């Protein structure tokens, strides 16, 4: 085993316990105060100087690989490693002893794993530097609010933490891959993702007389049913337009006067992403122009421009392949397709060469149980934590070599 693998293994029990602690106390985007305090405390114990972001949550901490050098990040080689720390607004139905203690909050996307892995990488690098000092700095970025749009990465960047960074690396759980496997791809890895809210309004009325008013629930159902197809007819590249929340009315005998539909617009094609709002407005015009179910409602669109695709740099991705081959063996790598999901890691790769890695988290002994990300019963094979910590720390050293 390599020095890094041994160093990570020495902290394995702590990392698993830390991940379970985080899993039991998930915090929603922008509210990650307990998580931030835990990260600051653990890094401070090691003699490091973590900094809380100006937003009040999230942490950035520089780890010099030569403890005796007075290193200036503006002139010293600097590489960043990133983890996201927020949970999702949903209930945890895993039934695990470490399941969420907070109603309406769950680590169903694996950010608890990402955080534990980055702390593990930091501890491994600290162990290593006691015997092998190296010129350079590893910047640890614990990003808050990744699950929001445009994501906490914009705050990290706005505070200047990507200045002078020569490369950045991160991992994301992938329950479709068995533990011990890493999905690697050069070029676009995720899709662009925007969010929108449609508000439909009418005068309201009695359900006994729908033709005398705007039958808003029926129109809401029509928008939900036809919107995606109407948008796809107006763009050249594939898009994914899915509604995640629809609200209309509160009583069975009252036609409501307001309805809202909230969803996301996703595409792997950047030009199509840039035309997303215009396509959505044109599609709404078409869907709501057909009056065969009575008078159409008025509508408003609140369109939130979101994220570009994560684009993995060719050189840093080749470096990741070298590290994985050395630490785990070439058999541990698989090609991974571009996904329809979005991730705020994209903002970093817009500015800095970097690579985002898919981390296999599925226990192969449970072949029948592959829970997707954002599932209420999502959980991981915790051996993935040490694997991620080893790869992240190895990528940092290789990029600084």
Q: Model confidence over 180-224: pLDDT tens digits?
A: 999 999 999 999 999 999 999 999 999 999 988 999 999 999 999
Share of the chain above pLDDT 90, in %: 87
Q: For position 379, what pLDDT does the model report? A: 95
Sheet holding 239-248, edge to edge: 239-248, 258-267, 192-201, 298-307
Q: Would you place residue 2 in the very low, low, confident or very high pLDDT band (cuts 50, 70, 90)? A: confident
- Long-range pairs, 40-45, Cβ under 8 A, ≥24: 42/18, 42/119, 43/119, 43/122, 43/140
State pTM to two decimals.
0.88
Q: What percent of the chain has pLDDT over 70?
A: 99
- pLDDT value of position 368: 67
Domains in the chain and their CATH numbers? 3-190+309-400 (3.40.630.10), 192-306 (3.30.70.360)
pLDDT band, very low/low/confident/very high, at 133 (cuts 50, 70, 90) = confident
pLDDT tens digits, one per residue of 321-373:
999 999 999 999 999 999 988 999 999 999 999 999 999 999 998 866 678 89
Is the pLDDT at 290 greater than 70? The verdict is: no
Interatomic CA distance for residues 384 and 387, integer angstroms? 5
- Sequence-distant (6+) residues with CB within 8 A of 342 are 190, 191, 192, 193, 264, 266, 306, 307, 309
In 3D, which of 156, 136, 161 has the Cα closest to residue 72? 136
Task: Kindly write down the DSSP assignment for every residue of 2-58, as one continuous string.
Answer: -HHHHHHHTTHHHHHHHHHHHHHS---TT--HHHHHHHHHHHHHTT---EE-TTSS-
| DSSP 3-state of 338 | coil
Do the Cβ atoms of 376 and 91 come closer than 8 Å?
yes
Whether the per-residue pLDDT at 70 is higher than 80: the answer is no
**How far is residue 319's CA from residue 355's CA, in Å, rounded to a whole number?**
9
What is residue 109's DSSP assignment? Answer: S
Backbone angles phi, psi at 100, to 5 degrees: -55, 135
Residue with tokens 């329809």: 340
Per-residue pLDDT, averaged over 27-39, amounts to: 98
């Amino acid at each position: 085993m390599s020095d890094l693998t041994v160093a990570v293994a020495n902290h394995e029990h702590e990392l698993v316990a830390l991940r379970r602690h985080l899993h039991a106390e998930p915090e929603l985007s922008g509210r990650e105060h307990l998580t931030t305090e835990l990260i600051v405390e653990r890094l401070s114990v090691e003699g490091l100087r973590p900094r809380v972001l100006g937003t009040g949550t999230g942490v950035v901490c520089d780890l010099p690989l030569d403890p005796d050098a007075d290193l200036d990040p503006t002139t010293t080689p600097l590489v960043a490693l990133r983890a996201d720390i927020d949970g999702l607004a949903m209930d945890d139905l895993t039934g695990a002893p470490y399941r969420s203690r907070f109603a309406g909050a769950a680590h169903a996307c694996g950010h608890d794993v990402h955080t534990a892995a980055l702390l593990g990488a930091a501890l491994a690098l600290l162990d290593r530097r006691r015997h092998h000092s190296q010129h350079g700095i590893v910047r640890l970025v614990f990003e808050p609010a990744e699950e929001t749009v445009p994501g906490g990465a914009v705050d990290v960047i706005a505070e200047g933490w990507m200045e002078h960074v020569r490369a950045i690396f991160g991992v994301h759980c992938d329950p479709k891959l068995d533990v011990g496997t890493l999905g690697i791809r050069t070029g676009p890895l995720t899709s662009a993702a925007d969010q929108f809210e449609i508000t439909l309004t009418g005068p309201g009325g009695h359900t006994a007389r729908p033709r005398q008013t705007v039958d808003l629930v029926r129109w809401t159902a029509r928008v939900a049913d036809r919107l995606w197809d109407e948008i796809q007819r107006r763009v050249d590249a594939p898009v994914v337009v899915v509604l995640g929340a629809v609200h209309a009315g509160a009583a069975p005998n009252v036609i409501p006067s307001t309805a809202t539909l909230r969803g996301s617009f996703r595409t792997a094609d950047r030009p199509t992403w840039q035309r997303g709002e215009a396509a959505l407005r044109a599609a709404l015009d078409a869907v709501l122009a057909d009056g065969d179910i009575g008078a159409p409602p008025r509508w408003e669109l609140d369109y939130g421009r979101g994220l570009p695709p994560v684009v993995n740099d060719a050189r840093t991705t080749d470096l990741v392949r070298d590290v994985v081959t050395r630490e785990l063996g070439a058999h541990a790598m698989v090609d991974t397709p571009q996904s329809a999901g979005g991730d705020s890691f994209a903002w970093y790769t817009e500015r800095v060469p970097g690579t985002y890695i898919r981390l296999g988290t599925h226990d192969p002994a449970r072949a029948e149980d592959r829970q997707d990300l954002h599932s209420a019963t999502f959980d991981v094979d915790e051996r993935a934590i040490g694997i991620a910590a080893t790869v992240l720390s190895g990528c940092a050293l290789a990029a600084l070599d």
